[in-house]
Chain A
Amino acid sequence: MRATVIDYKAGNLTSVVKALRHLGAEVTVTESPADVTAAERIVLPGVGHFSATQFLGQHGLQSEISIQIVRGVPFLGICVGMQWLFAGSTEAPCCPGLAAFPETCDRFTPGKKIPHVGWNSLDLRPGFRLFAGIPDGAFAYFTHSYRAPAINATAAVTEYGELFSAAIERENVMGVQFHPEKSGETGLRVLRNFLEWQPC
């Protein structure tokens, strides 16, 4: 199993890389489009501000990732990496996302503590490969202030005063709002499902 983790200077990659290696993956960390071209699987982590995703466009990574997604290469976005799959986010209106999904990410509605930090339960929709072997209601670790709406491709929803997409999956494009590398056995299983998933 080989995985290419994209370093776009949006926070700390150590934990994600450690979890993938723990599962037996051979991990390449890169900021070079040439490595994306050669990737077997692409992981886009990320914490912090949506504007960090500008780096992807400025360094030729965005167009290369698009090409590889169309070719069928499995892609997993984590946290901001998942939000980047959408058209954009009101957190950084000037930075367009990849627009694999046409919706926009938005800040949690007020009236509760923001950011949403901690372990929350996953309400799993049936039939998604990311959650094979994971029981409905399993807990995952979240830390974020913006969220993606629930859409057709939503594989799991979570409730925090409102429902939002905790995970999305459409063909080879997957994303999780939570941090699988920090979500104990549940998170490791999600990462393993991604690493073992074979395109048809």
Chain B
Amino acid sequence: MLTRRIIACLDVRAGRVVKGVQFVDLADAGDPAELAARHAAAGADEIVLLDITATHENRGTLLDTVRRTAQRLFVPFTVGGGIRTDDEAAAVFDAGADKVSTNSAALARPELIGEIGATFGAQAVIVAIDARRTSGAPVEQAEVFVAGGRKPTGRHAVEWAREAEARGAGEILLTSMDSDGTRAGFDCELTAAVSQAVQIPVIASGGAGNAHHFTQVFREGCADAALAAGIFHFGIANVRTLKEQLSRDGIPVRFPC
């Protein structure tokens, strides 16, 4: 049976893992390579490394960090942040990434999705969407933000997800900016709206605080995978105990041999 994936995310700035609340207030959480290996050993199904400051500081992804992190990792490894061209994507793949996540650059020039896919396959292209909802407005009007949540785009998340799929995205990584870092739970309504609008897998992100939140986003949010960062780094939950709880809740998950 296909399992629901638990993805550990490493938000990286200047080669160190950091974690913020609603995209600001960053605290140091350790070395990316070491944390990635620890999460994989505990049963994380994938590792995502996001260079969270790459776009607005206008510099390339930290290839050296990618190379070091990929070295001992034998689960899927995604890298995002500052990937603007298929050449930059190629450098990240060459350093050991299996997939790239593109956000601001894909919105600025949507052809990029197909260009990376043409060389590396659609499965290697994740389109990341950071969305914020205005209170009271219907979920379809959740707005897409870029540049690490700094810039509104006027685009709607559900509609952009559909376009990204049509342009050849392999997966959608959907972050609720309202929930991010709050540990109050995923935005299940927004996740369900996007998941039902596309055929490709949707990864829910933002707001994980306990195991129940994951069960909720798999059941009510129709998420194919769920991503969390902060709760794993500071020892609040590790992936193994999280999966044991999900399994008790009847959610199919993978346990490593």
Contacts and interface: CB of A to CB of B under 8 A. Distances in A.
Contacts of A143: 123, 170
B23 interface: no
Contact of A119 (B3, B170, B171): B3
Interface stretch (B49-57, B67-75, B141-149, B179-187): B67-75
Interface stretch (B8-16, B92-100, B156-164, B209-217): B92-100
Q: Is the interface of B mostly helix, strand, loop or mixed?
A: loop
Interface stretch (A96-104, A110-118, A163-171): A110-118
B124 A47 contact: yes
Contacts of A113: 199-201, 224
Interface residues of A, number: 38
Contacts, number: 101
Contacts of B136: none
A92 interface: no
Given A12-B120, A135-B257, A184-B256, A120 B224 contact: no
Interface in B75-93: 75-76, 93
Interface residues on B, range: 20 to 34
A183 B74 contact: yes
A120 B2 contact: yes
A14 B1 contact: no
Contacts of B255: 139
28 contacts: A10-B121, A12-B98, A14-B94, A14-B96, A15-B70, A15-B96, A22-B74, A49-B121, A113-B224, A114-B199, A115-B170, A117-B224, A118-B225, A119-B2, A119-B5, A119-B45, A121-B1, A134-B257, A139-B254, A141-B75, A141-B76, A182-B76, A184-B40, A184-B74, A184-B256, A185-B257, A186-B257, A188-B74
Interface of B: 1-5, 40, 45, 70-71, 74-76, 93-96, 98, 119-124, 170-171, 199-201, 224-225, 254-257
